[in-house]
Amino acid sequence: MPDERRGATRTAWLAAPGIVAAALIALLGVAAATHGTGELPVHAAGTTTLLRAIVFAALAVHLGELAGARFARAPSRADRPRPAPRPLSAVASLAGAGACAGQLLLLCGVSGLNAASAYSTVQGRLLLVMANGFLLAAGCAALGRPGWALAPLAAVVGAEALRAHPEQSTPLIGAALTVVHLTAASLWTGGLFHVLRVLCGARGDRPYANAVLSRYARRAGWLPVALAATGTASALRKMPFDVALTSAYGRVLLVKLALVGAASALALGARRRLRRTGTAGREAYLEVTVLAVVVLVSAVLTVVPNPSWHALAR
């Protein structure tokens, strides 16, 4: 068996437990969070969570690849170009478009609406915008114009922000917080994922790998701060303190906060190692793994019942 095939097989076996665990979190997360809270069950919660996780992952991969490509550029024009990892942005955006289409089909099935009627609802229109945005972004990537994908991806982020904040009071403030939150999360997760892929392909060029990692560390330092600030502000606007442990939203939010804290601690450890040794250690790989779990938990958070209704019921 050639070395490449043997390496691919080993990677697949190592990734299999993670994929199974991710599927279990997506399919069972809402049911586990709502257990014992007295909240009404969510129809097709597992499928919806899985589709929303794909949307978030697609955004992270595409936006992270666009940002990571800037970190991986040669330090100067005179320096020789380095081989880049295989692009994943087009495939990711196609997967995101498919996930949005799947949510439209679920909307039709759960509500009993036909396609035309579903498009007339707010949720249907926003999902249509997101699906089309992903398709346009995939087309830009396939045509070799990656920078053009920023506009359709911005439309996807904006539509998701409006979808996530249907409350009547100051919805635009909530949407603006979500835009910053989702952008920061996507750039942090996807950017680090792309940088680590670059490092894996540049093992024989340590100075270049160190330069890429240093550029990422310098420019990505604001992302955890933005994520924490906007997430805290959104939670304070949406969830009363007295339902933090008795509502599904509060329980999932606490898990997410713990995971983000762990990822931030790992990021600090990775940057200390970078300053001390000039290389990426296990902390960076653990960081991106924890961030992948954050993506899954965030998808669960968007599906569980709104905590304000739980508070009113009490």
- Read off the pLDDT of residues 24-57 as tens digits, 9 standing for 90 and up: 777 788 888 888 777 777 888 889 999 999 999 9
> On the CB side of 174, how many CA atoms lie within 13 Å of its CA?
18
CA-CA distance, 251 to 314, in Å (whole number)?
A: 17
Judge whether 153 lies within some domain: yes
Task: Tell me what the mean pLDDT of segment 179-193 comes to.
Answer: 92
Which of the four pLDDT bands, split at 50, 70 and 90, describes residue 78?
very low
Task: Indicate if the pLDDT at residue 308 is higher than 70.
Answer: no
Judge whether 7 lies within some domain: no
Report whether 304 contacts 30 (CB < 8 A).
yes
Judge whether 148 lies within some domain: yes
Q: Could you give the number of structural domains in the chain?
A: 1
Q: What is the pLDDT of residue 15?
A: 58
For the segment 228-271, what is each residue's pLDDT rounded down to a tens digit?
899 888 887 877 777 777 888 888 988 999 999 999 888 888 88
CB atoms within 10 A of CB 285: 16
Q: What is the pLDDT of residue 3?
A: 43
Judge whether 8 lies within some domain: no
Judge whether 3 lies within some domain: no
CA-CA distance, 8 to 29, in Å (whole number)?
A: 30
In terms of residue numbers, what domain contains 185? 16-313
Amino acid at 88: L
Q: What is the pLDDT of residue 117?
A: 79
CA dihedral 55, 134, 66, 85 (to 10 degrees): 80
Judge whether 4 lies within some domain: no
Report whether 29 contacts 297 (CB < 8 A).
yes
Judge whether 69 lies within some domain: yes
Task: Tell me what the mean pLDDT of segment 82-107 comes to.
Answer: 90
CB atoms within 10 A of CB 120: 9
Task: Indicate if the pLDDT at residue 5 is higher than 60.
Answer: no
Judge whether 240 lies within some domain: yes
Dihedral sign computed on CA atoms, order 217, 219, 224, 227: negative
Q: What is the pLDDT of residue 9?
A: 53
Report whether 124 contacts 37 (CB < 8 A).
no
